[in-house]
């Protein structure tokens, strides 16, 4: 995982401009797919410019569809204003592929109406041209998911080779909420009168333990940022958000219990250390340092780089699967008998892969929606094949070279 690939240095920005791995892979996928589809279009006698014009429509409207589907099905913004505020943040990985498919279809319809219609280009031929390139785009897109840490799999068996993501990765939230692991390899005290910054326990052989963190240490700073002895409670009252602080765990829990009794929604409960290491964590950073009070003095520990449990590498599986599907589609292209068969094969192959891969994933997503779409893709692909087979063949079988004649062994005649 590498959410930030590098920074472009600028004198007026302390950290420069971050270049995100997810966005870079989307950009690379757009460029490469455009080039592949344009190259194949030229071989079919279609100007490259027609494909480039269409690609812009498909990319933009498809991205809108992918982001909208994620926000409506997963994120559930509270208002239209909140929806519009979250919508541009695609670098967080919040897009859904099948939303992109629906948006891409709408984008193609617009491109066809405004651009392609006057050239009388066949939709099925265009679909076959872009199908292999689409497989490459899916491959690169999942590499972007791997760099971002989204679209992750279930916890892998210990004997499997799993992916271990850093503290800033989305899987950490799920695993901590379920109690399967700690956020950073240690837990804080919950005693009524104790300092909230006191370490209660440290996981054995964790990066925190290897850095020298011990139970009883009082964390006074993280990454040089002072840590306050505070417990924060975020709650809703008449649809308005409020934040209040407590300097003892018992007082904070008592207040939370009173909110529950009054049927008020508690949004979040966190201490100052969690606020710094989770809510205000710099994107792309994978390690942190702690300064602790121990035996009357302060000690700054070596850098800690916590990792999640090993997860099934679903992003890698899909990238490999789509690379293989690209090779299959490329090999099948000259063997097609009708326009549309290559796209149907893409739908069949991806639908089957996605249906199986969904069984291995564990990230927040509309599971039923994606499984149903996968089944629909496979069924639609079969129907397209059956429908096309009932029509006269547009292309004959590939021509073969005849055996050289006995009279002229050096000659070969194309049949």
Using one digit for the tens of pLDDT, what is the confidence trace for 235-261?
Answer: 888 778 888 888 877 788 888 888 888
- Per-residue confidence (pLDDT) for residue 131, from 0 to 100: 94
Residues 10 and 148 in one domain: yes
- Per-residue confidence (pLDDT) for residue 123, from 0 to 100: 87
Residues 225 and 291 in one domain: yes
Looking at the predicted structure, is the pLDDT value of residue 368 above 50? yes
Residues 120 and 98 in one domain: yes
Residues 100 and 234 in one domain: no
Residues 111 and 71 in one domain: yes
* DSSP, res 338: S
- Per-residue confidence (pLDDT) for residue 27, from 0 to 100: 86
- Per-residue confidence (pLDDT) for residue 335, from 0 to 100: 92
- Per-residue confidence (pLDDT) for residue 82, from 0 to 100: 78
Residues 290 and 328 in one domain: no
Looking at the predicted structure, is the pLDDT value of residue 137 above 70? yes
The answer to whether residue 113 sits within a structural domain is yes
Residues 146 and 189 in one domain: no
| Residue 219 dihedral angles phi and psi, to the nearest 5° | -80, 115
- Per-residue confidence (pLDDT) for residue 91, from 0 to 100: 60
DSSP-based three-state secondary structure for 64: helix
Which burial class, exposed, middle or buried, applies to 12 when counting CB atoms under 10 A from its CB (0-12, 13-18, 19+)? exposed
- Per-residue confidence (pLDDT) for residue 400, from 0 to 100: 58
Instruction: Please tell me the pTM assigned to this model.
Output: 0.78
Nearest residue to 36 (alpha-carbon basis) of 329, 410, 354, 390 = 329
Domain that holds residue 199: 182-300
* DSSP, res 2: -
The answer to whether residue 71 sits within a structural domain is yes
Which burial class, exposed, middle or buried, applies to 410 when counting CB atoms under 10 A from its CB (0-12, 13-18, 19+)? exposed
Instruction: Please give the Cα distance from 93 to 144 (Å, whole number).
Output: 9
Average pLDDT over residues 307-316: 91
The answer to whether residue 199 sits within a structural domain is yes
Instruction: Please give the Cα distance from 262 to 380 (Å, whole number).
Output: 52
Residues 212 and 289 in one domain: yes
Question: In the chain, count of helices (H) and strands (E)?
Answer: 12, 11
Residues 325 and 290 in one domain: no
Q: Indicate which CATH number applies to the domain containing 188.
A: 2.30.42
For 201-213, write each residue's pLDDT tens digit.
998 888 999 999 9
For 167-206, write each residue's pLDDT tens digit.
778 888 788 878 888 888 888 887 777 788 889 999 888 8
Instruction: Please give the Cα distance from 97 to 377 (Å, whole number).
Output: 13
* DSSP, res 71: I
Q: How many domains does the chain have?
A: 2
Residues 12 and 147 in one domain: yes
Strand (E) or helix (H) holding 273 = helix 272-274
Residues 269 and 371 in one domain: no
Residues 324 and 344 in one domain: yes
Which burial class, exposed, middle or buried, applies to 187 when counting CB atoms under 10 A from its CB (0-12, 13-18, 19+)? middle
């Amino acid at each position: 995982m590498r959410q930030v690939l590098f920074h472009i240095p600028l004198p007026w920005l302390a950290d420069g401009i971050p270049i995100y791995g997810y966005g870079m892979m989307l950009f690379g996928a757009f460029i490469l797919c455009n080039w592949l589809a344009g190259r194949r279009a030229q071989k079919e006698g279609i100007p490259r410019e027609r494909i480039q014009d269409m690609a812009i429509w498909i990319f933009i409207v498809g991205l809108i569809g992918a982001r909208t589907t994620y926000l409506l099905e997963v994120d559930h913004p509270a208002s239209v204003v909140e929806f519009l505020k979250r919508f541009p943040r695609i670098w967080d990985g919040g897009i859904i592929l099948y939303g992109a498919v629906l948006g891409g279809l709408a984008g193609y319809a617009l491109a066809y109406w405004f651009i392609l219609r006057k050239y009388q280009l066949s939709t099925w031929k265009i679909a076959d041209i872009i199908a292999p390139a689409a497989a490459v785009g899916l491959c690169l897109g999942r590499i972007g998911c791997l760099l971002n840490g989204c679209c992750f799999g279930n916890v892998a068996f210990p004997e499997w080779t799993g992916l271990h993501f850093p503290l800033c990765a989305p899987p950490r939230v799920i695993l901590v909420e379920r109690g399967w692991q700690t956020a950073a390899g240690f837990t804080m005290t919950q005693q009524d009168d104790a300092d909230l910054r006191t370490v209660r326990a440290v996981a054995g052989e964790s990066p925190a333990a290897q850095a020298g963190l011990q139970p009883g240490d009082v964390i006074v700073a993280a990454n040089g940022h002072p840590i306050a002895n505070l417990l924060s409670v975020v709650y809703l009252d008449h649809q308005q958000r409020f934040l209040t602080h407590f300097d003892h765990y018992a007082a904070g829990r008592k207040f939370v219990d009173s909110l529950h009794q009054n049927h008020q929604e508690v949004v979040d409960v966190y201490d100052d250390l969690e606020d710094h290491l989770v809510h205000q964590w710099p994107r792309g950073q994978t390690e942190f340092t702690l300064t602790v009070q121990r035996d009357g003095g302060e000690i700054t520990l070596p850098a800690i780089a916590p990792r999640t449990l090993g997860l099934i590498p679903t992003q890698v599986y899909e990238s490999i699967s789509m690379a293989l599907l690209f090779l299959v589609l490329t090999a099948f292209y000259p063997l097609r008998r009708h326009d549309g068969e290559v796209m149907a094969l893409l739908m069949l192959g991806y639908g089957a892969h996605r249906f199986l891969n969904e069984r291995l994933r564990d990230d927040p997503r509309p599971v039923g929606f994606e499984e149903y779409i996968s089944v629909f893709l496979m069924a639609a692909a079969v129907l397209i094949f059956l429908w096309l087979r009932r029509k006269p063949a547009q292309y004959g079988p590939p021509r073969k070279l005849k055996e050289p004649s006995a009279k002229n062994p050096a000659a070969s005649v194309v049949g």
